Every structure is written in structure tokens, then in C-alpha cells.
Amino acid sequence: MKKITQEYVEGVKDHNGLTVIKAPIVSEAVANWFEENKNNLEVNLFYYIYNLDEKRENEDNFFAFIVDDYVKPLETLVSMQYGYYVQKEASERRAASSAKKEFARELQNLINNHKGNLSKATVLNYIEQIEDVGIGIYS
């Protein structure tokens, strides 16, 4: 069995002749642009960069991505050809987290208010649901 090193797992590395490319995590705007342009990526990217001054007038999230040296936009777009993940927007994450917490609170209240009247199987089912959410005293 081959030893898997940290470098092997973290990104583009050569490991015994095998190149491993870490799937980038990108915003929805970048993913949308990529999907619309992936069939002719090189040419479409060239034209986008060539017309960058015109794009500056209507700055959008993809423009912000392209001009951000920190995120290595060209390397990221090339890597996306081998797979990528779309980053959830912060508001979506907060809403999902809030809904999970509310669900867990409701289940905990139901258990606490009806402990004497619920069957053991029902209580265990509720506890399992709370654990699945990953919040509360049972997780």
C-alpha cells in the first residue's frame, strides 16, 4: 500500500507519477461563468481578460474573482475542469443552521414536555433525529 502524505492530499502534487488536483471551492458566480464557458474555456477566458476594462464598468462577482490575485483565478478555472465545489452563500448557511437549531429545540421541548407519555421507541427516535441534526444535549 502506498503512503499518503499531507502534500498528496492538499493539492496539485506529483506522487509517484500521479498528479493529484484538489477540487477548488468557488462562488456560484464563478461556477455559473465556468459552466457557460467550459467548452471553449481558453478562448472565452482570453476574451474576458482582453475586454477587462469594459467589464470593469459592470463589475460583478466573477469580475471580482478574476482580478483577485489571492485566489489564483486562472489556476482555479483550469483546475475546475477536473471538478469543483460551489460554496454556499453565507446567508444560506445561516438559514440552514438556524433551521437545524430550531428543529432540535422543538424536538427537545417535545421530549421534555411529554416524557411520561411517550414510548421508549418514540423518545429514541426523537433523540436520533436530534443527533442527526448535530445540535443539542444528545449530540
> pLDDT: is 54 or 130 the higher one?
54
- Checking 8-13 for CB contacts under 8 A at 24+ apart, the result is 12/79
pLDDT band at 134 (very low <50, low <70, confident <90, very high): low
Q: How many angstroms separate the CA atoms of 57 and 81, rounded? A: 29
pLDDT tens profile 49-68: 999 888 888 888 898 999 88
pLDDT tens profile 97-106: 677 777 777 7
> pLDDT: is 130 or 44 the higher one?
44
pLDDT tens profile 67-85: 888 889 999 998 898 888 8
